[in-house]
Amino acid sequence: MTGIPSSPSDHALADVMPSVAAALGAGTRNPLALEPCRDAVLVLVDGLGAELIREHADDAPTLAALSTRMISAGFPATTATSLTSLAVGAPCSRHGIVGYSFRISDAEGPATSFNPLRWTLGSAGGPSALDRFPPREVQQHPSLLELLAAQGVEVTYVMREDFRDSGLTRAAFRADGAYLPASSLDEVRRGVLDSVGGPSRTRRFVYAYFGDLDLVGHIHGPGSPEWVRSLREVDAFVADLAADLPHGCTLLLTADHGMVTAETVVDIDFSPALLADVDTVAGEARVRHVYARDGSANDVLAAWTSELRGHALVISREQALDELLFGRGRDHAARLGDVIAVATGGVVLARTRNEQLESSLLGHHGANTPAEQHIPLIVR
C-alpha cells in the first residue's frame, strides 16, 4: 500500500525552504504549514520522482508509506534549476538559472552558452566560467540558508566534497556553514546524525544531498535492475535515519525531479531543418532553448514546430512568458531561447555530435510530465 497521493498539491519545491525557515523561527512565510521545531534536517535525493516511488512501492516500502505529500519540482525539472529554486524559495523566472544550459551575456563579449551545473562555458566539458561569470552575479537572490545563518541558526552541509565550492553551490546556497563531506548513504547518515545528535544551545539546520540514484537512472534507466537496487538502498537509509534522529528534530525529504526513459530519439545535429537559422541550441534532451540568428526567430519557430510535430511542444519565448511556464516574472527573459521545445512522451531531443555523453544516457528529465514533475515531500 502506498501513501502517495494521486496528484500533487498546489505547492512546489520553492515552498520548502521558506517553510523550514518559518518552522525554525527565522521567517514568516510557511506555505507548507510546518510545525515549529528547534532542529531541522532536509535531505534531497536527486532523481527520486514520486511516480517512480509509486511504481516501485514494493522495493521502497518506507518511502511509499511516508510519502503522503506530493509537490511539483518546477519547470524545467533539472538539477541546477531545482536546487536554486529550493535554496532561494523562488522559481527560475526570478533567480535566472533557467535550465541545464542556456545563453548568458556580460559586458566582456557576445552571449555564450553556459552550463550552471558544471559552471562551464559552451558545454558541460567546457572551460570554467567562474572568472567571467561569478556565481553571485549570475544568481543574485539571497538564499533562505543565508537568512537562517543571519538569524543565528547553525547551518551544516552534508554532501560530496567537490560540491563545497562549486559555482552552483556558491550561486544557490550562498551561506557559510559547517561542511561534512559525504558521498555514500552511510556517510550522509553519519554526517546528519553527527550534526544534530548532541545537545545544542542554538537552532540547527542540516542540508544533505545524495546523487547516486539520479546517476544510475541516467546510465541504466529508471526502473532498471541497477536503479531498483539503488532505490532499495535509499529506502533503507530513510528508514534508519528517521528512526535515529533525536526527538524534536524535524526530518524533511524531497527530490529535485523525477525521470523518464528514452524511447524515441530525435537527433538535432543531423536535422538540417532544425539547425537552419539557428545560432545556439542549449538546454537538455527534454527541454531545449533555441537561439535564432537575428531576424530569424519566426522562421525557426515554424521549422521546429513542423519538424517536431507529435514529438514536442514548441513555443516562442513570448508565449512561454505569457503562460508563466518558467514562473511569474520576466527578470531573466533574455536567457530563455527565442524558441523553446518541450519533449513529450518518451522523446529525447538529442545532440549526438555536440553532446555525446548526454545523448548516450537512457534516463532523462526536464519536461513537465508527471513522471518528471511530481516529487515526494516527507515530513517526520
Domains with residue ranges and CATH for the chain: 13-97+139-260+369-379 (3.40.720.10), 264-364 (3.30.1360.180)
Q: Is 48 left (phi over 0), alpha (psi -120 to 50) or beta?
A: beta
- The amino acid that residue 203 corresponds to is R
Peptide linkage before 222 cis (omega within 30 of 0):
no
Q: What is the pLDDT of residue 110?
A: 86
The model's pTM is 0.96
Q: How far is CA 123 from CA 18, 133, 344, 351, 359, in A?
A: 33, 15, 24, 12, 13
Taking each continuous run of H as one helix and of E as one strand, the counts in the chain are: 16, 18
Q: What is the pLDDT of residue 7?
A: 67
DSSP E strand stretches across the chain: 39-45, 69-72, 102-106, 109-115, 120-121, 154-159, 178-181, 204-210, 249-254, 260-261, 264-267, 278-284, 287-292, 312-316, 339-343, 347-350, 363-364, 374-379
Q: What is the pLDDT of residue 358?
A: 95
Q: Classify residue 333 by its DSSP letter.
A: G
- The amino acid that residue 180 corresponds to is L
Q: What is the pLDDT of residue 2?
A: 64
How confident is the model over 120-147, as pLDDT tens digits?
Answer: 999 899 999 999 999 999 999 999 999 9
Tell me the mean pLDDT per 10 residues along the chain, length 380.
68 98 95 97 98 98 96 98 98 98 88 97 94 97 97 98 97 97 98 95 97 98 98 98 96 98 97 98 98 98 98 98 96 97 98 95 98 98
Beta-carbon-side half-sphere exposure of residue 35 (alpha carbons within 13 Å) = 8
How confident is the model over 179-228, as pLDDT tens digits?
Answer: 999 999 999 999 999 999 999 999 999 999 999 999 999 999 999 999 99
Q: What is the pLDDT of residue 106?
A: 86
C-alpha cell at 121: 562555458
Could you give the CA distance from residue 294 to residue 335 in angstroms, rounded to a whole number? 15
- The amino acid that residue 61 corresponds to is P
Start-to-end Cα distance in the chain: 19
